[in-house]
Structure 1
Amino acid sequence: MALTPDITIPEITKLEIQPSRTYALDIDTGQIKGMVDGRQAIEQFIRKAIFTPRFVHEIYTDAYGCEVPSMIGKGFSNEFLRSEVKRMLTEALIYDSRINKVYNFDIKPNGDEIFVSFTVDTVAGVIEIDGVNL
């Protein structure tokens, strides 16, 4: 009769979402005003990521920021702008592990401005971004 070795099975633990506590940034003044976590931190990330130009600031990796401002006022057709803005906004956000999906875009080019609204599914629930002027 063959001997069977004892097999130790490690205990399986639940995956826990790590806190996303960060500094609260007043986007209008650029001042730090306390701390935010959870949904507020994700909302702040979304707004900061879409307003930060990609490839400009050395402090950020190439994955951070958005290229939409480089498209504005260059004479592209509205159809092309709608397509590219959708792609660029999605790319600016989806790499963050707290973001599950970016969809339901409403993109309105208007000369040197682009107004956008969209929906973001996150680990903290659905976040609606309405009427942002890029």
Structure 2
Amino acid sequence: MSQLDTVLAAGRRAAEARMRDTVRLYSQGADSFDRTTGNTVPGVQTTLYAGKARVKAIAQSTGEEAEAGERELVLREYEVQLPWATSLPGGTRVLPGMRVEVTASPDARMVGLVLWVTGAAFSDQATAWRIRTEDRS
């Protein structure tokens, strides 16, 4: 093992030690309309990862205002860090539009927060797998 590999392994252990939140990364199928009941039926959710993570607000995020339908939204950016060695089933890649739900956190206010994936970074020299998300509430 090279000196770089030793340093990276230590950094990855340290990054995982800071992962005190629990999240669920999932994709959701398209909604459908039930003509019998007149209700929209949510698409099927497929869980790709469930486990420890670190969810943190991005400091320079200004909270961009946007409009969706007739509703005003404030988009706040978050970075979700998963263990570096995390792999998704069947070689699935993280794609924009997937979602991350915070299922447990030492900060109880974060539980239930659903974040929308905007991108993911890959690097063999990273200490964690970083996924960019936004809160669309």
TM range (shorter): under 0.3
- Which of the two has higher C-alpha Rg? 1
Structure with the larger strand share = 2
Structure with the larger helix share = 1
TM-score, normalised relative to structure 2 = 0.26
Higher relative contact order (CA 8 A, sep 6+): 2
